[in-house]
Amino acid sequence: MAIVRYTAGRELTPEEDARMRAQVRAAAKKPYTPDPDCPLLTEKQLSEFRPVNFDSMEERAQAMRQGAAILESASV
């Protein structure tokens, strides 16, 4: 599929709009194929993700300190 570039401030012509919508519909019908250079994550890997938004700056600071400690221990 070709790369589509957007130029700010310019509206699509009706023909361009119809062509873009057709491309999106065609892409939505294609089956998903994972990238061989980036395999899908396992359930265990997915479970290790943690949110990066915090309720307070104190929580954020604590997470940053824990992250720094992990990085320091990994580099030793």
- When pLDDT is cut at 50, 70 and 90, the band that residue 75 belongs to is low
* Three-point CA angle 7, 8, 13, nearest 5°: 65
Q: How far is residue 46 CA from its own chain's centroid? A: 14
Each residue's pLDDT tens digit, 10-43: 788 899 889 999 999 999 999 988 888 988 889 9
Give the Å distances, CA to CA, from 52 to 9, 20, 49, 64.
34, 34, 9, 10
60 and 50 Cβ atoms separated by less than 8 Å: no
**pLDDT for res 23:** 92
- When pLDDT is cut at 50, 70 and 90, the band that residue 76 belongs to is low
Each residue's pLDDT tens digit, 48-65: 887 778 888 998 888 888
